Structure 1
Amino acid sequence: MNFDQLNTFISVVETGSFQKTAKTKYVSQRSVSQSMQKLEEELGFELFKRGKNKIIVTDQGQAFFLKTKEMLHSYFVEINSLRHQTTSVHQEFKIGYFSPFEGALMRKQVYAFSKKYPNIKFKITEESIEHLISDVSLGILDMAYILDYGSQEFLTKNLTSKTVFQSTMVIGVSKLNPLSQNNTFPIKALKDKPMLYYSPEKTNYLKHAFLATLPEAYQNIPVARVSTIEQMQTLVTANQANAYYPDGLIQLGSNTESEISYLPLQGNENSQKFKIQSIYPKQSKKCNLIKQFLG
């Protein structure tokens, strides 16, 4: 498996044709077909269903397409960043965040800080909560924004934290659903549809945190991770699922949808409190910079 294969695969999915991809890459259609067949053999599953003069992307192929685009995008962003690194007076500040919700809060702070200190060069990473904790502990990141929700412990002995935001989790419900007209989301309705949460990487942190806040009778409801905000919002909008969100941060970002109502969980508001914590090493060369950034 190589970059040329993956780029060819992306082109085939986007054009819907081996022939069109072959023309754009100035190779034969047979070459494209053989490359995709070899890729399927390496992966161990079908990417396409082949018919007469047409191809259909399989479910596994569609999932692999999304992951491949995300991976290649991250790779080229990183390469481009390395190409433009200089030995100037810029000081690098590496920050991680968990989701676009915390990302919106981070952007406001980055903007305000950059106005005061234009020589700071920011490097930003989106990762799972577990990955962020690990990267800050190892010094790969200078600090990270963590969604502190439920009763789970996340700080290690070498990390400290500061609360930068707090509110409650709310349930997103399609306005096609009559429940969207309520002031609160009935807890019994948790069994009506699958419950979704967002994470850029595979993680059970938010799933376990959410289930732990519920009465015992509801701790086995189906809860599933979604890897893109767009997919989660679409499924909720179509009334195929509900999802849980950090209230207050939805409004900061660009993810508020007129088709979705965000409701507190009935009788469970206190257990749904969360904090956004900035975590960073207790002993760090950049402690003063981090404290200035956080105010």
Structure 2
Amino acid sequence: MFDNINLLLFNYNRIINYHKSLIISKIDIAYGGNTMDIRKLQYFISVAETLSFTKAAKEHYISQTAMSQQIASIESELDVLLFDRSKYKVDITSAGEVFLGEAKEIVAKYEQAVKKTQDVHKGCKGNIHIGYAGPTEVELLREIIEEFEKKYPYVELHIEQNNFKKLSKDLKEGIYDIIFAIAGEINDIGSLEKITLKNEQAVLVVSKKHPKANKKNMNATEIADENFIMLSEECGQLNFERMIESCRQDGYEPKITERVNSLDTLMFMVELNRGVSFLPRSQINNLNNKVSFIDIINTHHSFAVEMSWIRFNKNEYIKKFIEIAKQLYY
């Protein structure tokens, strides 16, 4: 029975893709047959990600020969070799790597345009694309979203977590309408608007194995000799620099023994008692039973969250979202 169902699904997808191909082919003919359409870019991305013409062809329900012809057509149009082919493997070239990044952005924008068009057709009056960096922003973002959805239930919200670099790039390119991140990390964007919504005290996070794990609070100078685990500069240059400067303002030079690229790794290192770190106080409820938090007295460490957007964004619901955020936190 399951084989029959799978066969039906396979044939259904082939029919759908066949009709899509007919539509796109007509567009190709209208433009002289030389248009590098979205379909070709999707084919290229699949080959680049799988490094296999066979796997990519199966993903799109076409033959391997047809897939090879499509990639050859792109290479001919660009006059650039995108893949090194041998009998045993396929490798993407340096030029192919560059083209892959650009192709992904084009396809993402196309899919976003399709989604917005379909939303209007379905009766959805608008949407907002929101990006955020990490758990520091989650509690704040949750309250704003809950309040917004009460007032504007017909507006669709798309929410995604990403690193600071990607958030900044996608805000600039219009993929995100609004982003939430640690203060100072989003800069160098023309017409950027931002406000600080929250500034909260930092706590020291230590392993349950740490000799001071049972302490309720400590003076800032008492932690000067600790080994520190911090998120690396790649996770946020300004945040990293701010942490070091806050330690100096507290009267000591931090001994950083680990620089990690994710909060999960940071917490794992703390659990293993490889060092201590700082977290916003709002994250206390999210800590597991393998770590403890200690309040820091007379410290300069804090975490501020900013909301950023582009001034000339024409999305009418951004202003309404910002108004609610200001009512709750500003």
**Short-chain TM bin:** 0.5 to 0.7
Report what 1:99 is aligned to: 134
Cα deviation, 1:11-47, whole Å, max 9, x if unaligned, reads xxxxxxxxxxxxxxxxxxxxxxxxxx969x98xxxxx
Partner of 1:214, secondary structure, is helix
Change (3 A) 1:153 1:105: closer
Deviation at 1:95, TM superposition (A): 1.0
Q: Among 264, 281, 284, which residue is 1:230 paired with?
A: 264
Deviation at 1:99, TM superposition (A): 0.4
Determine whether 1:122 maps to 2:157.
yes
Contact 1:99/1:198 (8 A) holds in 2: no
Partner of 2:231, secondary structure, is strand
- In the alignment, the residues of structure 1 paired with residue 147 and residue 188 of structure 2 have an alpha-carbon distance, to the nearest angstrom, of 27
Change (3 A) 1:238 1:84: farther
Determine whether 1:176 maps to 2:205.
no
Report what 1:68 is aligned to: none
Q: Among 195, 200, 204, which residue is 1:167 paired with?
A: 200
**Which aligned pairs between 1:98-247 and structure 2 lie closer than 5 A?**
98-148=133-183, 154=187, 158-182=191-215, 183-184=217-218, 186-187=220-221, 189-197=223-231, 202-215=235-248, 218-219=252-253, 221-222=255-256, 224-247=258-281
Deviation at 1:218, TM superposition (A): 4.2
Report what 2:33 is aligned to: none
**Higher relative contact order, chain-length normalized (CA < 8 Å, sep 6+):** 1
Partner of 2:289, secondary structure, is coil
Report what 1:71 is aligned to: none
- Give the gaps of 5 or more residues in structure 2: 1-46, 53-87, 93-104
- In the alignment, the residues of structure 2 paired with residue 282 and residue 106 of structure 1 have an alpha-carbon distance, to the nearest angstrom, of 20
Q: Structure 1 length as normaliser, TM-score?
A: 0.61
Partner of 1:289, secondary structure, is helix
Contact 1:173/1:262 (8 A) holds in 2: yes
Deviation at 1:184, TM superposition (A): 1.9
Q: CA RMSD in A?
A: 3.8
Report what 2:320 is aligned to: 289
Change (3 A) 1:128 1:173: same
Determine whether 1:278 maps to 2:311.
no
Contact 1:147/1:276 (8 A) holds in 2: yes
Cα deviation, 1:48-77, whole Å, max 9, x if unaligned, reads xxxxxxxxxxxxxxxxxxxxxxxxxxx9xx
Report what 2:64 is aligned to: none
Contact 2:219/2:298 (8 A) holds in 1: no
Deviation at 1:170, TM superposition (A): 1.9
Contact 1:163/1:275 (8 A) holds in 2: yes
**Which aligned pairs between 1:1-16 and structure 2 lie closer than 5 A?**
2-4=48-50
**Percent of paired sites with the same residue:** 18
Query: Partner amino acid for 1:291?
Result: I
The structure with the greater share of residues assigned to helix is 2
Deviation at 1:93, TM superposition (A): 0.3
Aligned residues: 224
- In the alignment, the residues of structure 2 paired with residue 229 and residue 236 of structure 1 have an alpha-carbon distance, to the nearest angstrom, of 11
Change (3 A) 1:191 1:279: same
Contact 1:197/1:244 (8 A) holds in 2: no
Q: Among 277, 294, 314, which residue is 1:263 paired with?
A: 294
